[in-house]
Chain A
């Protein structure tokens, strides 16, 4: 018995790991009934794999049997791999026992599609209901919405889970049609919209009647595969921005494609996953969500790709030197946020601290500003005047010479003379 379950866990965890969504934040579910678990509003990462990604949820598929044949997916019908399926009880027991030992923050449950969408969704719903109602489990649950499942099932699941998500897979419709002819962005947009409307409706009702139950309290997210099809960074981020706006998504995840197939529509086996690109896309995502940048400022027809050697905030600043240098002691918070080398928490501290007197370089450094980067874009009480009037290319080369990129140093094939 224990051997079989170990085998199943290996197969079904292995198949689920390409879904990069990991967050366990945003839910404040309380442990009111003296059961097990609660939500932690900022989430907890309980461990990290050797590739540096966090492990916060038990991320598994209910089964990797699937009726679809999407070229980018390990579990596609035509792929010759071992198949397995958990029973409802096995998933419940695994979740409860891992949770009790503080291994995990909750359950992330997805599934290959067997028979049809509704049948699969019903099975997922059974797991969730058993956890919540029979085991009195109040920990985090992230459930994948199965595309094409009926609205009633999705709605019922929403009453028990903390987050729901459904993957866009490819950033554009044409990309998706190329690799997964059976699928369409429409299958994603409809459930995202349904759940979104219900979230709003429940919130409205909650304002009037306090006892209205929670509905998907941690919101929705989605994921795009990067580098499997030839989209530009502009296509990707404009799609992301649109989905953030239309569906109030909490997160869009970008997953660098890891070659798993010999299909000639896809990158060759053994190709390095596009890790730098993925990193730059996440940086752009953060700039849009927390730094007040509009996607058009970062990526437009003139600049359809992000720079690989410098981050998107610095490259925006270098293209827009007319705004700089900014005086730290009078600039608005919104503008301070746009200075390379200053993050959200340093910007807040600067705005608070300058009420008590003009700020100097040493204070900025202590507050946490990356001064060597920021110095080309700011003036403060005692900044020397010599950093004025450099060209963008000069500033870029100064900064690159001083900083050590975590990626580039592996790429430069510099010969040593001695």
Chain B
């Protein structure tokens, strides 16, 4: 049996519910995007059902400590087909064992789910570190990113708490949405294709007059804080992998 769902969290949870309703013997979970029809295996399309999803989510709440709920959510945000499959198997394992089963790192699905979550948390932490705001002439601080995983829901609180006295925008080019803070609350924003292009390619044009001064001061600082006698490029690249250099003012 192949279960095909739409890739949303609601869809995933509905799939878990429907599995427990029908209990097919052998089951593969896949997203509509990755689904390839197979003559020998019947497929079942999972229709999102908020009620069913909600019941599974509540059951998970009862079964899992807060730390594991976050791990579950982070793994979902990795958006990888294998991660969805592991999450599904993880749920089956959790629901068929007494609570506390998450401590069993000998179980491959527990270990895999924890592993994906660690990768997502690492990406989240890197975004918190490597985002570089530029200030526009009307005072808005803006930055575009294209992270490996969908981490915007995870970094929102950090930036809201920290930059409470300035308006800012963080936009995800890959997933075509962003967040905007208006000194009061954070809103999701969607840009038109043209605006998105402008933000990406002409970001220096909308910058304020002060911006080049602070960018060059920062570059100077970065240079003078380096100790040449200790040069260690390998370590440098391990901490700041090349794919993040495009974000960094000091690596321009």
| Interface set of A (CB-CB < 8 Å, partner B) | 2, 5-6, 9-10, 13-14, 16-18, 30-31, 34-38, 40, 44-55, 58-59, 94, 97-98, 100-103, 136, 256, 258-259, 272-273, 275, 349-350, 352-357, 359, 363, 366-367, 406
Of the candidates A55, A259, A356, the one whose C-beta lies within 8 Å of that of B225 is: A55
B164 & A34 in contact (Cβ 8 Å cutoff): yes
A54 & B106 in contact (Cβ 8 Å cutoff): no
A51 & B227 in contact (Cβ 8 Å cutoff): yes
> Beyond A38-B161, A349-B105, A359-B106: 4 further Cβ-contacts under 8 Å?
A47-B130, A49-B222, A50-B226, A354-B106
Q: What would be 22 A-B contacts, judged by CB atoms less than 8 Å apart?
A: A10-B223, A13-B224, A17-B226, A17-B227, A31-B161, A31-B164, A36-B163, A36-B165, A45-B129, A47-B222, A50-B226, A50-B231, A52-B232, A52-B235, A94-B217, A98-B218, A100-B163, A101-B135, A102-B133, A272-B229, A355-B104, A357-B106
A61 to chain B, nearest CB (A): 12
**B221 part of interface (Cβ distance < 8 Å):** yes
Q: Please report the C-alpha to C-alpha distance between residue A305 and residue B143 in the assembled complex, in whole angstroms.
A: 50
**B243 part of interface (Cβ distance < 8 Å):** no
| Interface set of B (CB-CB < 8 Å, partner A) | 101, 103-108, 111, 125, 128-135, 141, 143, 158, 161-166, 210, 213-214, 216-218, 220-236, 238-240, 248-250
A9 & B163 in contact (Cβ 8 Å cutoff): no
Residues of chain B lying within 8 A (CB to CB) of residue A45:
129, 239
B162 to chain A, nearest CB (A): 5
Q: Closest residue to A16 on the B side, CB-wise? A: B225
Residues of chain A lying within 8 A (CB to CB) of residue B103:
352-353, 355-356
Q: Please report the C-alpha to C-alpha distance between residue A366 and residue B162 in the assembled complex, in whole angstroms.
A: 37
A9 & B217 in contact (Cβ 8 Å cutoff): yes
A59 & B129 in contact (Cβ 8 Å cutoff): no
B220 & A6 in contact (Cβ 8 Å cutoff): yes
A49 & B166 in contact (Cβ 8 Å cutoff): no
Residues of chain B lying within 8 A (CB to CB) of residue A2:
213
B127 to chain A, nearest CB (A): 10
A101 & B134 in contact (Cβ 8 Å cutoff): yes
A31 & B221 in contact (Cβ 8 Å cutoff): no
B166 & A46 in contact (Cβ 8 Å cutoff): no
Of the candidates A10, A102, A350, A354, the one whose C-beta lies within 8 Å of that of B220 is: A10
B240 & A102 in contact (Cβ 8 Å cutoff): no
B44 to chain A, nearest CB (A): 32
